[in-house]
Amino acid sequence: MLIDSHVNLHAPQFADDRDAVIGRARAAGVQLMVTICDRLSRFEAVHAIAMAEPDIWATVGTHPHEAKDDADLTPETLIALAARPKVVGIGETGLDFHYDLSPRDVQAKVFLAHVDAARRAGLPLVVHTREADEVMGDILEAEFARGPFKILMHCYTSGAELARRAAALGAWFSVSGIATFKAAEDVRAVIADMPEDRIILETDCPYLAPVPMRGRRNEPAYLPHILAKLAAIRGWTLAETEARTETAFFNLFDRIPRP
């Protein structure tokens, strides 16, 4: 079963042909998708997509780029929205010190609200992290010590040390089209060492189209290219890779019924 754990179907890039994009994904063998909320003001649009389709689920959260717009976000707000039907995760949230589109202290404050919500709601935390390895590791370890929660290091491209620290907390990792990029040898080296039972797949569409589609708008239908690259990196067959990532996905997103 092919599962795309991170799509952005509410993005304006899909405004004109979203139904066709979903249809192509199904034709390519993608049987389940999780569409991701990147700002609280967009949650209703994200949730509506999930509610309209039997094979699409949703998250609720605010991306670190948008943290400044939800600076007063509380765990209670996230928990209330997470109680809606078909909401299966908290995030995308985290720290992005590359672009710094929100002040770092605001990013951290909003991230902590998501952590608390994930812990209390019993839902996985979908984590974005870029150029913030040490701070992210420190926060995850300190918060996990206060009470455990499920962690997904989404589209993981950070360093081996943060991967080690997150894996020690039981984190899952998602592999994206970046793994196919020619210059991504460091990313592939980290993927080779990820816990074999905690790896899942994503496209992060409409961004990061894999080779040989690089430069195009990304779609869930391109997920098989990422599956093939993960199989090559880990030395698994395609069937084994599909089975492993499916099992890992349902162990993480345990509110989604297995088909």
pLDDT, tens only, 89-102: 999 999 999 999 99
CATH of the domain at 172: 3.20.20.140
| Structural domain includes residue 174 | yes
Closest CA to 5 of 128, 174, 121, 129: 174
Tokens 């092919």 correspond to 2
What is the rounded distance in angstroms from the CA atom of residue 21 to the CA atom of residue 9? 9
Closest CA to 78 of 34, 38, 117: 117
| Structural domain includes residue 257 | no
* Tokens encoding 219: 């779609």
pLDDT, tens only, 147-175: 999 999 999 999 999 999 999 999 999 99
Asked whether 125 and 89 are in contact (CB, 8 A), the reply is yes
Section 194-212 average pLDDT = 98
Indicate if the pLDDT at residue 35 is higher than 90. Answer: yes
Report the mean per-residue pLDDT for the chain.
98
Confidence of residue 3 (pLDDT cuts 50, 70, 90): very high
| Structural domain includes residue 230 | yes
pLDDT, tens only, 230-259: 999 999 999 999 999 999 999 999 999 998
Asked whether 117 and 75 are in contact (CB, 8 A), the reply is yes
Cis peptide before 257 (omega within 30 of 0): no
pLDDT, tens only, 171-189: 999 999 999 999 999 999 9
Cis peptide before 212 (omega within 30 of 0): yes
* Tokens encoding 60: 């609720």
Strand ranges inside 49-124, DSSP E:
56-60, 87-96
Decide the pairing of beta strands 151-153 and 172-175.
Answer: parallel
pLDDT, tens only, 47-60: 999 999 999 999 99
Phi, psi dihedral angles at 90 (to 5 degrees):
-110, 125
Domain range enclosing 166: 2-252
Number of Cβ within 10 Å of residue 62's Cβ equals: 30
| Structural domain includes residue 258 | no
pLDDT given for residue 137 in this prediction: 98
Domain count, the chain: 1
Tokens 């993927």 correspond to 191
Asked whether 203 and 175 are in contact (CB, 8 A), the reply is no
pLDDT given for residue 87 in this prediction: 98
pLDDT, tens only, 106-143: 999 999 999 999 999 999 999 999 999 999 999 999 99
Is this prediction's pTM over 0.85? yes
| Structural domain includes residue 165 | yes
Confidence of residue 218 (pLDDT cuts 50, 70, 90): very high
pLDDT given for residue 24 in this prediction: 98
